[in-house]
Structure formats: C-alpha cells, structure tokens
Chain A
Amino acid sequence: MTRSRSMLWLIARRELALSLRSRSIQMFAVLFAALALMVAASGYVLSGGSGFQDFSRTAASLVELLLLLVPLTALIFGVTVLTPDVGAAELLYSQPVERRTVLAGQLAGVFLALTAAQAVGLGLAGLVLFARTGFDGLSGYLGLAAGSVALTAVFLAIAAAIAAGHNSARRARALASAVIIWLAAVVVIDIAALGIASALPSGLASKTIIVSTLANPAGAVRTAVLMMIEGTAAFGSASMALVRFTGGVASMSAWLVLSILVWIVAPLVVATSRLRKTDL
C-alpha cells in the first residue's frame, strides 16, 4: 500500500511538472487570471457604483466565468493527458504499478496543475474584490474557490471516463465527446429541462427543474456557490421550492454535495474498470 501510494505521488509529481511546463496550461493560467481580474475590476462598474452588494454581484459574475472555463479546460487537459502516444503508454503501463495507480497519479497531477492555475486568478481577483468591496463575502469567496476545485475534480473524472485506456489515435474523438459533454452540462441540460418542464403540470415541472439542477454537476456547483455567496434566497422563490423539495437547508446542502461527489466517484469507477480490462 505504501509503495503504491508513493508510486502515485511519483506519477502525480511527474504529471504536475509536465503540465506546468506545457505552454497551454501557462496560457490558461494567464487567461484565467486576466479574465478574473477583469470581472473583479468591472464588477463595481456593472453594479452601478451603488455600492450595493458589490461583492455578491462580482462574485456571481466570477461564478459564470468559472462555469464557462473550468469544466472545458478540465475536460480538454484531462483527455489530452490520458490519451498519450502509444509508445509512451506502453512504456508506462508495463511498469510494475497498478493501472489505477497510474491513472490516479496522472489525474492528481493535472488536478493540482489546473487548480494552481485557477488559484492564481482567484487569488488576484479576491485581493481586488476584498480591497474594494469590503469584507462581508468571506464565505462566498471560499465558496468560489471550493466551486472551482469541485468543477475541476468532476470534469477531470469525466475526462477520465471518456479517455482512460485510449491512446492518441482516439484523442480527437475523445475531445469531441468532451466538448459535447461540456455543452450539455453548462448549456443544454438547463434548456432541455426548461423545455420539458414547460410541457408538464406545474408541480411536476418544478420537480423536473430541481432534479435536473441537482443531477447536473455544473448545476449543482452553480447552485451551491451562488447560495454561499448570496444566501439561500439567491434564486428567490425557486430557492424555497428547492429547499422544500429536498427537506430543509441542511439536507439540500447534503444533496448538492452528494451530487458533486457522485460525479467525481462514478466516472472514476467507470474509468478504472475500463482501464483494467483494456488492451493497451
């Protein structure tokens, strides 16, 4: 066990170093930091300079940025790392290390690299935010950070489910699936749920929306983080519908966390079981 743990850490460190040396992740870090700073700096202007809830409004804009960028980058970097050239994969997987340890190590490395890249942007945005809008938003800010970590973990796990066991010959196809999944999670599922709901009687319709929001990891993270920023009333009467449906604020939080955890664990189970059976 200790050996496989130290192997995991060894592989994670290599993947971390490799990721951080790649142009693309450096560019992502810079781009993300620039956008986050832009949002943090313009949040005040957007809020009308009224000073009213500057923090929540700016933080809510940051949530949109996170939802747009983090799942997509996690999917793309994840798929790219997990679809190596044949010669590299064969060499790595012929070593006396469990395949799941290799996978876990690679994911851990990319995860660290991505969260570090995001942390630079979030840290800078946080400094601007706290300096200008006061300090009433600590829990919201931590929620943002937790949200970006959760999104990274979820979509890396999904990337693993798409890509594990494949090599660079299948990379293009895996990337295409990744983009489709991203589009589904951040755009299509919401619209589809609305479409279905508007054809249903109202009680069932609300349940459809609530369930689709809870079941979609992007929706769950969005809901949880916005509630951490703006309080449980963030969605007006929809908040109440959600709280009532889940049976209270505590169990609602539990459901949101559970959804996120399931979306991390389930794809990883799929990925490891496929990786175990695959011929490399």
Chain B
Amino acid sequence: MITFAGFSKRFGEVDAVSSLSLTINAGEIVALIGPNGSGKTTSIKAAAGLIHPTSGAVLIGPDRLPASGIAARAWCSFLPQRVTFPAGMTGREVLNFYGALRDRPAAAIKDVLAFTGLNGSSRRDVRTYSGGMTQRLGLAVAILPDAPVLLLDEPTAALDPEGLKAFYELIEARRKNGQTVLFSSHHIADVDRLATRVITMSNGRVVGDSPCDH
C-alpha cells in the first residue's frame, strides 16, 4: 500500500532521509521508531504528499500513485504531530468541513465524535479545547474518511488518556479489518502493543525492520 522507492529528502545541507526503500503491505500496522531527526516525520509527511522527494518516489495504493497527487491522497488520511484548528469553529463544524471534503455522511461524523469522546463538547469553539481534546479532534478528523491508509505522526505524544484509549481501539479495529497504518512513535510500549512490524530509522536510514508478534 505504501512504497518508498529510493526516497531521499534533503533540506539544505541536511539529508533528512537517504534512499529509503520500503514496501508496506495492506493490513500491516507499521511502527516507525528512532531518535529525533532520524527521518520518521519526513517519511510520513512524504507519504501524506506534503513533502516532495529530492529523488526517488513515494507511491501509494495498489496502483502505485505518486503520493503528492490528489488520487493518492484519497487513499490516505494523515494526523499531524501537533494538530491545530483555526479559532472560531466548533468541533462539529471542523468535522463537517472535513467530512464534506471527503464526502462522508453525517452518521460517520456522529460515530467519530462518539468514538473520540467529543460528543459533549462538539458545539464548543475549538479555542476552548484543551491540548488533549484538540488532538482527539485531530484523531477524529483522521479516522473520519475511513481511508485504506492511515498515517499518524507521533499520535500518542499529545493525546490524553481518553484519546489514547480511543487510539488503541482504533488500531485494533483496523488490524481486524485489514487496513494499513503507518505511525511514528517514541513509546516502545505502544509499539509492542500495536505494531505488526517495526522499522527503526537513524540518520535518515533504515537500520532495522522486523515483524512483531504478540
């Protein structure tokens, strides 16, 4: 579902990722681990189409679509590391907007609100949300499209306990449904508990790639 084909990214003088070649299959729950600056975020954002490769390519889906095209992005859903929303909208309005962008029915919005525990606060302006609630809303936006590929950048870093619970349930459900997840993390506990495959990065290169059994 995600293919990094000799993907390299250079920011100025710094090689963030060097010729990364990697295939992530449908149904895999892949954890990307490694120290800060090892290239995890760059790789995930490249898969989300936000970063253009300096060389190589990042391809999405069975048809191997270039990640930056809108066809590929319809396959993916992405949760940034620290998501923010412009003040002045309610949580519900945020979901309405992203739901409309991805042609989701109103029922789906109700579901994700319930799933992320935001039902009670969906009519409040997002500027009144706590950090954890904001990240939960981000998670809600990310799962709303029910995309085949879910890309999460440090999903557990900013989530509150309620959000973490939802997140674990989400990954569990996706594994059962055979949907793909690529996420980066610092927490070895998350990795052990969730991933079916762990990829370790360091200095922009893959230094470890192993299946993970439970």
Partners in one complex: yes
Listed residue (A84, A85, A87) with the most chain B CB atoms within 10 angstroms of its CB: A87
Contacts of A86 in B (CB 8 A): 80, 82, 84
Contact among B52, B70, B83 with A87 in the assembled complex (CB-CB below 8 Å): B83
Within 8 A of B (CB), among A94-140: 94-98
> Does B48 sit within 8 A of A, measured CB to CB?
yes
Within 8 A of A (CB), among B123-154: 138, 141, 151
Contact among B71, B74, B80, B88 with A91 in the assembled complex (CB-CB below 8 Å): B80
Nearest CB on A from B101, distance (A)? 5
Determine whether the beta carbon of B52 is less than 8 Å from that of A97. Answer: no
Determine whether the beta carbon of A84 is less than 8 Å from that of B86. Answer: yes
Determine whether the beta carbon of A22 is less than 8 Å from that of B102. Answer: no
Contacts of B48 in A (CB 8 A): 90, 94
In the complex, residue of chain B having the shortest beta-carbon distance to the beta carbon of A13 = B97
**Given A87-B80, A90-B78, A96-B102, CB of A280 within 8 Å of CB of B88:** no
- Number of chain A residues whose Cβ lies closer than 8 Å to a Cβ of chain B: 23
Nearest CB on A from B51, distance (A)? 4
Contact among B76, B89, B101 with A97 in the assembled complex (CB-CB below 8 Å): B101
Listed residue (B11, B70, B83) with the most chain A CB atoms within 10 angstroms of its CB: B70
Contacts of A18 in B (CB 8 A): 86, 88-89
Determine whether the beta carbon of A96 is less than 8 Å from that of B51. Answer: no
Instruction: Compute how far the CA of A97 lies from the CA of B68 in the bound complex, rounded to whole angstroms.
Output: 10
Determine whether the beta carbon of A88 is less than 8 Å from that of B70. Answer: no
> Does B114 sit within 8 A of A, measured CB to CB?
no
Determine whether the beta carbon of A277 is less than 8 Å from that of B52. Answer: yes
Contact among B52, B80, B101 with A95 in the assembled complex (CB-CB below 8 Å): B101
Instruction: Compute how far the CA of A7 lies from the CA of B9 in the bound complex, rounded to whole angstroms.
Output: 30
Main SS class of interface, B: mixed
Contact among B49, B81, B100 with A94 in the assembled complex (CB-CB below 8 Å): B49
Contacts of A7 in B (CB 8 A): 101
In the complex, residue of chain B having the shortest beta-carbon distance to the beta carbon of A93 = B50
Contacts of A10 in B (CB 8 A): 97, 100-101
> Does B73 sit within 8 A of A, measured CB to CB?
yes
> Does A170 sit within 8 A of B, measured CB to CB?
no
Instruction: Compute how far the CA of A17 lies from the CA of B77 in the bound complex, rounded to whole angstroms.
Output: 25
Determine whether the beta carbon of B86 is less than 8 Å from that of A88. Answer: yes
Interface residues of A (CB under 8 A from B): 7, 10, 14, 17-18, 21-22, 84-88, 90-91, 93-98, 277, 279-280
Interface residues of B (CB under 8 A from A): 9, 11, 45, 48-52, 70-71, 73-74, 76-89, 93, 97-98, 100-102, 138, 141, 151
27 A-B Cβ contacts within 8 A?
A14-B89, A17-B89, A84-B86, A85-B84, A86-B80, A87-B80, A87-B81, A87-B83, A88-B84, A88-B85, A90-B48, A90-B50, A90-B78, A91-B80, A91-B83, A91-B138, A94-B49, A94-B50, A94-B77, A94-B78, A94-B80, A95-B98, A96-B73, A96-B101, A97-B70, A97-B73, A279-B51
Rank and list the top 3 A-B pairs by shortest CB-CB distance, nearest first. Answer: A94-B78, A90-B80, A96-B74
